[in-house]
Structure 1
């Protein structure tokens, strides 16, 4: 099956991971990075890929790769350094950037919150929803006449889990009750920003969820129940209020048992303010979870795999393209009428430049090939998938993992900022040019 006309082939990045600090306000991530031991290797985002200054070079890379779409984020702490008032110079910058993308024939896919927020704000406080609405209004006022695809929030579950439950991401809070509250406020922020965007004709609002298919470790009834519970915790707790009938009752009961009190921060009218405001669903897919029953801590399940001799990235994540295919088909059947867009999909492969100056990352090429084939199979089964955005355009600051993991189609020498298109980037360019088909293994010819 051919990919449909207008299918968006692209790649993504986020502001804090690539831009560097130049000219922006203090972020919660700046504060977090100063904590001893918070970042592997002790790094921070002060320089990253220096893309705020080298953005024209990045647009040329996007053109060279033949991308039809580019996902990026506006830095909340850059646009609103004090969390209250917009900086016109920051908006000028993003306006120039969007215009350059459009001139290059590239569809902008703009993320409002990719984990970077001004210091002093916290999703634990309900007032941050209004601050986010004001920020969305400032960005939309400048760009909604030119940007069609808007992602309000990136990975609400990860924000709640790593930022507020485990304390492994900014702001570094480790409290279960605060995490549940923060996740709810993130979804309210989606609703508030989507309402802002609805005032602009042609603007489509969606939320990008980190979705993990959950499979049982065995065929036992207990492990099947563990997989269903994990699915509720990771996926349905966010999918259902966005696209369904509100928060799932089984997970509400789980949270109330774990916390020992009702979820009184979910007020009357909140679910109505979240639901019915998604013009599409963004899907960030990396791997699956294999679950087994366990004593409640706080829930009666635990991740036990995948285990054994399976293909893995350098970060140890199982590579399973079939799970992506099944995920897309299942979502399209469960939420008919909601277009899907793969907003992140990629893997850590640490291949470095060799003696010829090139990066021969054949494992990423195989990853791309297999996951694109999974999308093709989902389309053939009737899934309404509008685009595939690989993560990421270039190697970048990978949050608490620092600069070690390399996700990029483009290698970045962090000391010099020099960008080198990897073999996977060249393969992806061939795939895009072929409308979703490319040589089975890399037959790469140099650009130029």
Structure 2
């Protein structure tokens, strides 16, 4: 398949629908000790033995810190409308209250280069790289970090204003809170049920505190927040309540306070002894209006009650899986979007801010045949189209990821990129999935002339 096939009546063909690619700072930049940057919790976590596969780290990663200009040129060559990136908090505020102009300059040149090439810029303020100096004071377990995040949002938005087209406060607070502070699988590696829920509340409070700051400083930009969501299905008819609870804890817990001004009752009741202190007015802050919701979708889960009445997920061994072990299930994206639309009623516009597949990809004779990823993206574009036809307002789709990069606790063994990266030489090679994306977007551009 040399291009993705979109139905002739698809809104995805219109020039108003935004196609893009996405990255994040710690995963691609490198240059961890350059340009005034100080350590993040991921720099520390990577140096803790046994935490990251192969002892990998982001010190160099894709060396985007030095190769950014050629990378922007490569992004532009794909024909996308927008580039979604994140800003590294420790590059902007390397010490508490100290603004680093070199950090602002680094991102400004990227933003300017994107705009010069006609691409919009979607900036995430927090994609998990908390400054280590804040973690030393408790990190997201410390309520003060919510206010520090608002101060960081003030610095960035005051400097860039409307030059940033779309602001995102948080990327996947579920991962930051639960993998970072509940299960210990991500930085900072803390394990504790109460800690996970406390971190989640402080993350959402930080989002709410930042929203009016962003609106004040960038009144013409678009502002929102990004959630990862994994729709759950019951293993048998008797397991529907298990599937419902999985959704409640894994993403309603984060979306409900923003769109409904409350946390889901099912989670409050089941986790009653682990609930954080929620002060009067917190939910009013968190539920500040948003212009859009970003949804990151990769796979589904299948849930059941085990013999002890506990909820567990069941791997679907008969299904096709990606290299990371996640089931390929495009229908889940349609179902998820329709469910969200039903649950929240007057839902803000949605962007699919991440969608992609990990592969065991190899560059052979200058080519990377990532046939599974090509099928994966095709299926998920069709799933988005089906959701739109079912009445969901979806305004854009961002492939995860632009290029292979540091995949958190998996290090460099999982390749999510549409572009292959040789980490020894930093050579970039467009995979078949990138070429299919490029050809689809070129065809769409011709149609819309």
TM range (shorter): over 0.9
Q: Give the equivalent residue in structure 2 for 1:216.
A: 234
2:112 is the alignment partner of 1:120: no
- Per-residue CA shift, 1:132-164, capped at 9, x if unaligned? 111111111122221121111011111111100
How far, CA to CA, are the matches of 2:41 and 2:439 in structure 1?
A: 39
Displacement of 1:264 in angstroms is: 5.2
Contact 1:241 1:247 in 2 (8 A): yes
Q: Give the equivalent residue in structure 1 for 2:440.
A: 431
Q: Give the equivalent residue in structure 2 for 1:160.
A: 177
Distance of aligned partners of 1:42 and 1:437 in 2 relative to their CA distance in 1, 3 Å threshold: farther
Q: Which moved more, 1:277-286 or 1:263-272?
A: 263-272
The match for 1:253 among 260, 263, 269 is: 269
Displacement of 1:204 in angstroms is: 1.8
The match for 2:423 among 392, 414, 428 is: 414
Give the total of aligned pairs.
Answer: 428
Q: Give the equivalent residue in structure 2 for 1:237.
A: 253
How far, CA to CA, are the matches of 1:18 and 1:278 in structure 2?
A: 28
Unaligned runs of 5+ in 2: 1-8
Q: Give the equivalent residue in structure 1 for 2:10.
A: 2
Q: Give the equivalent residue in structure 2 for 1:441.
A: none
How far, CA to CA, are the matches of 1:239 and 1:295 in structure 2?
A: 31
What is the TM-score with the length of structure 2 in the denominator? 0.92
Displacement of 1:337 in angstroms is: 4.1
Unaligned runs of 5+ in 1: 439-448
Distance of aligned partners of 1:337 and 1:293 in 2 relative to their CA distance in 1, 3 Å threshold: closer
Q: Give the equivalent residue in structure 2 for 1:347.
A: 357
Q: Give the equivalent residue in structure 2 for 1:273.
A: 285
Distance of aligned partners of 1:368 and 1:6 in 2 relative to their CA distance in 1, 3 Å threshold: same
Contact 1:16 1:75 in 2 (8 A): yes
How far, CA to CA, are the matches of 1:435 and 1:308 in structure 2?
A: 38
Question: Aligned Cα RMSD in Å?
Answer: 1.6
Q: Give the equivalent residue in structure 2 for 1:283.
A: 295
Distance of aligned partners of 1:18 and 1:294 in 2 relative to their CA distance in 1, 3 Å threshold: same
- Per-residue CA shift, 1:197-223, capped at 9, x if unaligned? 111222222111110101111111xx1
Q: How does 1:333-344 map to 2 (within 5 A)?
A: 333-335=342-344, 336-344=346-354
The match for 1:19 among 18, 21, 29 is: 29
How far, CA to CA, are the matches of 2:210 and 2:107 in structure 1?
A: 18
Q: How does 1:255-334 map to 2 (within 5 A)?
A: 255-257=271-273, 259=274, 263=275, 265-294=277-306, 300-305=310-315, 307-334=316-343
Q: Which moved more, 1:145-154 or 1:50-59?
A: 145-154
What secondary structure is seen at the aligned counterpart in 2 of 1:314?
coil
What secondary structure is seen at the aligned counterpart in 1 of 2:20?
strand
Displacement of 1:329 in angstroms is: 2.0
Q: Which moved more, 1:113-122 or 1:142-151?
A: 142-151
Q: Give the equivalent residue in structure 2 for 1:77.
A: 90
Distance of aligned partners of 1:343 and 1:313 in 2 relative to their CA distance in 1, 3 Å threshold: same
Contact 1:73 1:113 in 2 (8 A): yes
Contact 2:299 2:327 in 1 (8 A): yes
What secondary structure is seen at the aligned counterpart in 2 of 1:139?
helix
Contact 1:205 1:277 in 2 (8 A): no
Contact 2:201 2:276 in 1 (8 A): no
Displacement of 1:436 in angstroms is: 9.8
How far, CA to CA, are the matches of 2:46 and 2:419 in structure 1?
A: 25
How far, CA to CA, are the matches of 1:245 and 1:129 in structure 2?
A: 18
